[in-house]
Structures are given as C-alpha cells and as structure tokens.
C-alpha cells in the first residue's frame, strides 16, 4: 500500500513497508541522555553543586513551574497529574512550592535574567485567579525578569475563565497554550474530555481580545475512534480560530506507565491507520499556510519559531521547540525537570516525597545525571537534527575539537541505510535530512543515541509515529 503526502510543496510516496520499518519505539529527545538513563544516586547536593557551576557561566534562565492538579483524569493523559475535586485541598501545595522557589533562589545569582517563564500542568488555571496572582508575585520577588521575557501558561478551556485570562495578561503573561486534543464528540466521550467547540472558541477569542502575543493550541492524533475525516474536521475548526502555532502531538500509548490508557487500547488507530490521520493534519495545516517545524509543531511563516529554524538558532527542551537557546532551565514543583549545561535533575514525582524534601529544607531532587563530553557532542547532534534538519561537519569540528567523520564513523554507516530509504542525504560537508526524513526526525536522531543499545527491563518509549 502506498500513500502520498505533500510537504513544503513536495509530494512524497510513502509505503506501508517503510512506515513499519521506522514506526518503532523511540525517545522524543527533550533531553539527552533521556530520562531512563538518569541515576537515583544524583541528589540534592549534586544539583546544588551544578547550580553553582551554572552561575559561573552567567547564562540566562528559563523557569518552568509545575501545577499538577486537575479535576478529572483524561484517559489519554501521560502527564504527572493529581486529581482533586476539592480545590481547597490543593492549596498547601502552593505554600510548598513557594518554599522551593525560595530555596532554589538561594543557589542562583540574582543578576541572571529570566528569559522564559512557563506554567504547566496539570491545569494551572485549576487555582483561582487570586492565588495565581500571589504565586506569580512571589516568584518575581526572587528572580530578575528580562524586559522581553517570554511568559507562558497552559490553559484548559473547560476550567479557565475570562477572569483568569484578565489576571494572567495583567501580570505579564504574553503566551498561552490551549489544550483541545479533538473536537469530535465521540472521541471526546471515549477519552473522557467533553469540551464543546463554542466554549473553546469563546475563550480563544477572549485571549485575542486581551492581546496575548501568541496563542497556541494542542491537538493529539491517534486517539480512540479518530479517523482521517473526523480529525480533518477538527483541524478545519482550529484553522478557523487562527492560532499562531499548532502542536499536533502523536498519542503516546504507554499503558505500562499510565494505567488508565489501558481502557482505550482496543479503540486506538495503529500503523497506517494512525499515519493517515497524521497525513490529514499535516495536509490541512500546511495548506492553510502554516509551516511544519518538525515532529509535532506548526507555525505561521513569520513566527519566531520559523525564523529561528531558518537561522539555525532553534532549540529544543522539555517544553518542546523554543527560540530561547542558551538558557539554563530550572524546574520548580513536583516532578519538574531542570536542564543545565552539563546536568539534568528531576524533582520527586509524588507529592509526599516532594513535600517532605522541601520541608527538610532540601532541594527536592530525586534523580539526575551529569553529562560527559560524549553526551554533550551527541546532544548537539540530535538537537540539530530535530531543530535544523542538518549537521554541518565543520561546526562540530570547530566547536568540539573532533574529526566528524572519524567520531561518527559508525553512525555514518547506519545513516547510509536511511539514505537508501530517502530520509537523509550524506554530503562531504554535511548530513541533511530530506523532506521525507522530516517526518521521521526521531528516527534520524536515534542513530546518534549510544544508550539505545542498552537492554531495558521493560518498554520505555512510545512509537515514533
């Protein structure tokens, strides 16, 4: 069976055989080494030492704050969430979070500017506007925000009110990401997330009226009962709304990690069926004028993501694609992840462990990893594949003091197989991802991952498509 898919004006032929060969479990590469390689022996003292090292660099900061609470659990959810119907029972978490903010700030040079601040969840707008205002003011009291800081928040239209939006905008939030996933009523019912279009559209228009500089929407393809036709209808409605960016995530079916997903195992589209949904989405959004950034992101041609990709300054971290390269990411809140130049650290994933560590006056880190020289080189290679779709050999040789063809001799041999399949083009001075290869970016990046050869006790990653 063959499918054609049009991308950047080029029509590509994709066979079922090729899809089966590359639709394999693989990382999303929001970090390298990826989280399964991190070590529980890395603890609070290690992270504090790494923060001290990062101060010497003077690098700007990106802050991520995790607010994990939701009123109900969506069956597709793969996030670290806490379900609480009683909102008052979640208020002590904000006090704990404030104590962590103060503890982390003691380790960070106040002169380092915050270039990016993002609230994720869960559902940040689970809390009332007044509480969010208090939390924001508290955080600002410990850090120095750059005048042009990118300040963003994730919003669930089912619980977010115009008052929430008014307060957030007044505080300086300039970006908002709205979760939609799918507008089809049957799909919504199957995943237990009822979200009418009219309700979502009204909140979207409210954001526009308040002057948010960028409004993004999140969709998921591969959900139970989805078809190319139903997802196409959802995409059409999103295009009518006119977001600045669209994230069209592949549903990550990992019931061994998220037990609630087992309830939909028999209903999800797989293989070519799932790919046809992806094909429909990419066709709709690119026909409407959006550029395909890669993996799961679309943006308008004049959006700074597109500009950064053209300039090869685009970066990828735990929040996905970003223009804020060169920042040290500090994660705050339960399960949050920090990414420094030479280390990653993750907070305790359960509320009790997180709260107890903060109560002891510790940095609430449960695991992490220090990067060796080889990790840094390979992280750069994978990052540039996913962000820029090219590796310029001379840049690596100048930056890292290596001979590219010698250092990556084994990888270049494996890339020749991808070249035969039309995914990459091997040139004397560069490795370039082709238009077809942009659909399989994770697979190209996996060639440079030396940890994938290690045996795993159980499944770790979702499939790449």
State pLDDT tens for residues 229-249. 999 999 999 999 999 999 999
Sign of CA dihedral 268, 269, 275, 277: negative
CA distances from 449 to 32, 33, 34, 236, 408 (A): 8, 8, 9, 37, 11
* pLDDT per residue as tens digits for the range 134-143: 999 999 999 9
Q: pLDDT tens for residues 364-387?
A: 999 999 999 999 999 999 999 999
Other beta carbons within 10 angstroms of residue 333's beta carbon come to: 24
Looking at residue 262, the DSSP 8-state letter turns out to be G
Tell me which residue of 191, 186, 123 sits closest to 158, measured CA to CA: 123
Give the number of other Cβ atoms within 10 Å of residue 235's Cβ.
Answer: 25
Give the C-alpha separation, 314 to 321, whole Å. Answer: 7
Q: For 272-321, write each residue's pLDDT tens digit.
A: 899 999 999 999 999 999 999 988 899 999 999 999 999 999 998 887 88
CA atoms within 13 A on the CB side of 134: 10
Q: Go through the domains of the chain in sequence order and give each one's CATH number.
A: 1-33+372-453 (1.10.10.920), 39-331 (3.80.30.20)
Q: What is the CA 265 to chain-centroid distance, rounded?
A: 24
Who contacts 139 (Cβ-Cβ below 8 Å, separation ≥6)?
A: 63, 65, 101, 117
Check residue 458 and give its pLDDT.
Answer: 61
* pTM of the predicted protein model: 0.94
What are the tens digits of pLDDT across the range 427-437? 999 999 999 99
pLDDT at 11 over 90: no
167-185 tens-digit pLDDT? 999 999 999 999 999 999 9
Query: Percentage of the chain surpassing pLDDT 70?
Result: 99
- Antiparallel, parallel or unpaired: β 328-332 and 61-67: parallel
Q: What is the pLDDT of residue 222?
A: 95
């Amino acid at each position: 069976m063959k499918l054609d898919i049009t991308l950047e004006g080029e029509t590509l032929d994709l066979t079922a055989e090729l899809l089966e060969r590359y639709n394999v479990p693989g990382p999303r590469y929001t970090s390298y080494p990826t989280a399964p390689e991190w070590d529980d022996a890395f603890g609070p003292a290690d992270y504090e030492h790494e923060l001290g090292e990062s101060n010497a660099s003077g690098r700007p900061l990106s802050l991520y704050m995790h607010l994990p609470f939701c009123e109900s659990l969506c069956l597709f959810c793969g996030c670290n969430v806490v379900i609480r119907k009683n909102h008052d029972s979640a208020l002590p978490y904000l006090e704990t979070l404030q104590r962590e903010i103060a503890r982390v700030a003691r380790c960070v040079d106040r002169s380092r500017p915050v270039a990016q601040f993002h609230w994720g969840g869960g559902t940040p707008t689970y809390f009332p506007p007044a509480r969010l205002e208090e939390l924001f003011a508290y955080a600002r009291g410990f850090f120095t925000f750059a005048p042009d800081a990118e300040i963003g928040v994730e919003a669930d239209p089912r619980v977010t009110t115009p008052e929430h939006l008014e307060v957030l905008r007044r505080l300086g939030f300039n970006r908002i990401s709205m979760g939609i996933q799918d507008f089809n009523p049957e799909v919504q019912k199957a995943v237990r997330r009822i979200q009418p279009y009219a309700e979502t559209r009204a909140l979207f228009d409210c954001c526009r009226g308040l002057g948010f500089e960028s409004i993004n929407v999140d969709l998921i393809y591969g959900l139970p009962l989805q078809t190319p036709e139903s997802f196409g209808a959802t995409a059409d409605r999103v295009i009518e709304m006119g977001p600045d960016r669209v994230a069209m995530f592949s549903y990550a079916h990992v019931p061994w990690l998220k037990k609630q997903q087992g309830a939909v195992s028999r209903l999800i589209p797989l293989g070519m069926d799932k790919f046809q949904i992806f094909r429909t989405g990419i066709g709709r959004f690119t026909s409407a004028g959006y550029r395909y950034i890669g993996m799961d992101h679309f943006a308008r041609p004049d959006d700074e993501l597109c500009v950064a990709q053209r300039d090869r300054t685009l970066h990828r971290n735990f929040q996905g694609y970003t223009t804020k390269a060169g920042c040290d990411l500090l994660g705050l809140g339960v399960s949050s992840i920090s990414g420094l130049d030479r280390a990653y650290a993750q907070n305790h994933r359960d509320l009790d462990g997180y709260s107890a560590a903060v109560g002891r006056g510790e940095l609430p880190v449960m695991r992490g990893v220090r990067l060796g020289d080889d990790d840094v080189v390979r992280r750069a290679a994978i990052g540039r594949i996913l962000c820029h779709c090219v590796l310029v050999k001379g840049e690596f040789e100048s930056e890292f003091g290596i001979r590219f063809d010698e250092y990556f001799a084994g990888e270049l041999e494996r890339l020749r197989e991808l070249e035969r399949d039309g995914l990459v083009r091997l040139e004397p001075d560069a490795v370039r991802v082709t238009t077809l290869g942009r659909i399989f970016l994770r697979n190209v990046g996996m060639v440079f991952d030396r940890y994938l050869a290690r045996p795993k006790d159980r499944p770790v990653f979702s499939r790449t498509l």
